[in-house]
């Protein structure tokens, strides 16, 4: 039932708004609204019960194993939330003078330092509000760099065919044409195709390493040489940083610019789809173009870098300084994990993925790249299962929900047919992982014995399979009493 359907005229939670109407004598009547907006009229208990019950209709990390590949659904430590929500942090206005926020700004400055070190870059700006905005900032900096050298021929961004959809979408938003580079049969970038594609039109290459195929790009040094040799720059999509944090740094691999997804590697909450935070790091040649504001320090005093400090900056990407509360959570996480802990993230994320892959392989499940070492994630392909039983990867995903596990990412990357991208993360126990493997193997077995049960899954969730065609054709995106305006 919707909250609106519980509504009764004039019912309200009286204590939560001012006790009476304020005087609006100063506002002319022709600017006032005539109809009342259709907001719920419910008691506090009704609202609390309704949203508590809604929350219980979700799978989440706190309640379920959530091995969603490329999303790094690891545990979000409670301390990060609690201490980022101290009243002084929550109460501070973003435009209040820097004298009123030195403690907060010190946290941000130190986070910049930590991320600079972790990525092997020369400077970091925390301002991008999400990974995709970090990508935008990164490619906009590549463009600003070429423009600053009057190198105007460079109109193409190269993107491997395995890339996240955000990469080509970002390149378009920055005014570039996208050129796809194929992947070879081992999951590496096809070097011959890359050599053929680069040239005076190449602005840069966007690369995720480890790639979305769950393998480390072994020819990264050569790729960097090829792209740089042609005058292009190398962009690192930090989606999979969790696999290599503390082990190898993008800056050392030859990347010029990187964005990080702090909601992945630095364990800030995914929040049902946001907020994220997508800081960008750059090497020396892109430093002048970093988005503002970021924190500058001198003698223990902190202030914001502005247009005056950074005349070549690509500018501002948000009204304030980025998702401050998310950044605080990431900073607290970094304090708790510490220097030695960073590499242990990669150690255990990689161990868990390789263990899962080894067990599934031993049980006869097909891997997309069986000859490769898994990184923090790996790809199962169910092409054979589909041919033999008619059961698809989506069917298996839905059946996993019945077994109490969130499904891995399905049908991504687009290169692998009937695939699961599985990312267990470092925070899961062996027991949990074994339980998932057992469930998956049971479903494979069930697909042969009783395919209909799998094909019609899920059976135990609050709703069963939804009619997505109807959702798009008979668009109903807002509850209303009367006809749409």
Partner 1 sequence: MLATVGVSDLESLFDEIPGHLRAEVLKRVPHALPEMEMARLIAGRAERDGRYVNFIGAGAYEHHIPAAVWELTTRGEFYSAYTPYQAEASQGTLQLLYEFQSMMASLTGLAVSNASLYDGASGLAEAVLAAIRAHKKSHRVLLPATVHPVYRSVVRAIARNQGVELVELPHNEDGAVDAVDLAGNSDVAAVVVPQPNFFGVLEDVDALTDAAHGIGALVIALVNPVSLALLKSPGEWGDDGADFAVGEGQPLGVPLSSGGPYFGFMCCKERYVRQMPGRIVGRTTDVDGKPGYTLTLQAREQHIRRSKATSNICTNQGLLVTAATIHMALLGAAGLRRVATHCHQNTNELQLQLSAIPGVARAFARPFFHECVLRFERPIAGVMRAMEAQGIVAGLDLTHYYPDLGHSMLVCATEVRTKEEIAEYARHLERIMSRRPLDPPCAVKTAS
> Closest separation between CB of residue 38 and partner 1, Å?
4
192 binds partner 1 (CB under 8 A): no
The residues, any chain, with a CB within 8 Å of residue 218's CB and separated by 6 or more, are: 188
List phi, psi (to 5°) of 54: -60, -45
The number of residues in the chain equals 485
Q: According to the binding rule CB under 8 A, does residue 255 interact with partner 1?
A: no
Judging by beta carbons within 10 Å of its beta carbon (0-12, 13-18, 19+), is residue 4 exposed, middle or buried? middle
Q: Is 21 in the site for partner 1 (CB under 8 A)?
A: yes
Closer CB to partner 1, 448 or 465, in the complex: 465
Nearest of 262, 283, 288, 274 to residue 72 by alpha carbon: 262
Rg, the chain, Cα only: 25
Q: State the nearest-atom distance from the C-beta of 200 to partner 1, in Å.
A: 20
Distance in Å, CB of 420 to partner 1, minimum: 12
- Pair type for strands 233-238 and 202-208: parallel
What is the total count of residues that contact partner 1 (CB under 8 A)? 194
Binding flags for partner 1, 410-449, as an x/- string (CB under 8 A): --x-----------------x-------------------
Q: 291-326 burial string, b = 16+ CB within 10 Å, else e?
A: bbbbbbeeeeebbebeeeebeebbeebeeebbbbbb
160: alpha, beta or left, given left = phi > 0 and alpha = psi -120 to 50? Answer: beta
From the list 432, 415, 417, the residue with the least C-alpha distance to 215 is 415
- HSE of 321 in the Cβ direction (CA atoms, 13 Å)? 28
Interface residue with partner 1 among 153, 169, 200, 450 (CB under 8 A) is 169
User: Per rule CB under 8 A, is residue 303 in the interface with partner 1?
Assistant: no
**Region 24-43 residues binding partner 1, contact defined as CB under 8 A:** 24, 26-28, 30-34, 36-42
Least Cβ distance, residue 373 to partner 1 (angstroms): 5
Site membership for partner 1, residue 212 (CB under 8 A): no
Q: Which is nearer to partner 1, 79 or 450 (by Cβ)? A: 79
- Contact segment (CB under 8 A) with partner 1 among 61-69, 199-207, 281-289, 379-387 equals 61-69
Residues of this chain, 117-156, that bind partner 1 according to CB under 8 A: 117-118, 120, 129-133, 135-136, 140, 143
Residue 317 touches partner 1, criterion: CB under 8 A = yes
d(CA 155, CA 460): 51
Among positions 345-384, residues that touch partner 1 (CB under 8 A) are 346-347, 350-352, 354-355, 358-359, 362, 372-373
């Amino acid at each position: 039932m919707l909250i609106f359907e519980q509504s009764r005229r004039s019912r309200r939670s009286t204590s939560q708004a001012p006790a009476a109407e304020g005087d609006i004598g100063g506002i002319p009547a022709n600017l006032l609204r005539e109809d009342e907006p259709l907001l719920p009229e419910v008691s506090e208990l009704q609202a609390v019960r309704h949203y508590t019950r809604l929350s219980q209709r979700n799978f989440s990390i706190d309640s379920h194993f959530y091995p969603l590949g490329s999303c790094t659904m690891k545990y979000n430590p409670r301390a990060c939330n609690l201490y980022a929500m101290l009243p002084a942090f929550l109460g501070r206005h973003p435009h209040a003078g820097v004298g009123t926020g030195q403690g907060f700004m010190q946290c941000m400055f130190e986070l910049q330092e930590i991320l600079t070190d972790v990525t092997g870059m020369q400077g970091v700006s925390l301002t991008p509000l999400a990974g995709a905005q970090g990508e935008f900032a990164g490619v906009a900096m590549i463009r600003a760099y070429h423009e600053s050298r009057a190198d105007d021929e460079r109109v193409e961004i190269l993107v491997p065919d395995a890339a996240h959809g955000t990469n080509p979408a970002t390149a378009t938003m920055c005014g570039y044409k996208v050129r796809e580079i194929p992947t070879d049969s081992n999951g590496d970038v096809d070097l011959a195709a890359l050599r053929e594609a680069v040239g005076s039109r190449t602005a840069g290459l966007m690369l995720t390493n480890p790639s979305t195929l769950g393998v480390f790009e072994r020819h990264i040094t050569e790729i960097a040489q090829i792209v740089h040799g042609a005058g292009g720059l190398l962009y690192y999509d930090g989606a999979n940083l969790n696999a290599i944090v503390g082990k190898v740094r993008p800056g050392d691999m030859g990347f010029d610019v990187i964005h990080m997804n702090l909601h992945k590697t630095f364990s800030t909450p995914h929040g049902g789809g946001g907020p994220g935070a997508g800081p960008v790091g750059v090497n020396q040649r892109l430093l002048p173009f970093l988005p503002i504001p970021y924190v500058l320090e001198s003698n223990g005093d902190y202030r914001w870098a502005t247009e005056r400090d950074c005349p070549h900056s690509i500018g501002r990407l948000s009204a304030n300084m980025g998702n401050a509360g998310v950044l605080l959570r990431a900073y607290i996480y970094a304090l708790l994990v510490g220097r030695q802990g960073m590499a242990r993230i990669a150690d255990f994320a990689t161990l868990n993925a390789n263990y899962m892959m080894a067990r599934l392989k031993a049980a006869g499940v097909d891997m997309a790249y069986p000859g490769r070492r898994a990184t923090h994630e790996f790809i199962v392909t169910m092409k054979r299962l589909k041919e033999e039983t008619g059961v698809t990867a989506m069917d298996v995903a839905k059946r996993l929900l019945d077994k109490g596990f969130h499904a891995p990412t399905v049908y991504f990357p687009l290169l692998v047919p009937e695939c699961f991208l599985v990312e267990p993360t470092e925070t899961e126990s062996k027991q949990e992982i074994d339980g998932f493997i057992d469930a998956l193997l049971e479903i494979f077995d069930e697909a042969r014995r009783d395919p209909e049960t799998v094909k019609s899954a899920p059976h135990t969730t609050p709703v069963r399979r939804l009619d997505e065609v109807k959702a798009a054709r008979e668009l109903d995106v807002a509850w209303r009493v009367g006809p749409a305006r």
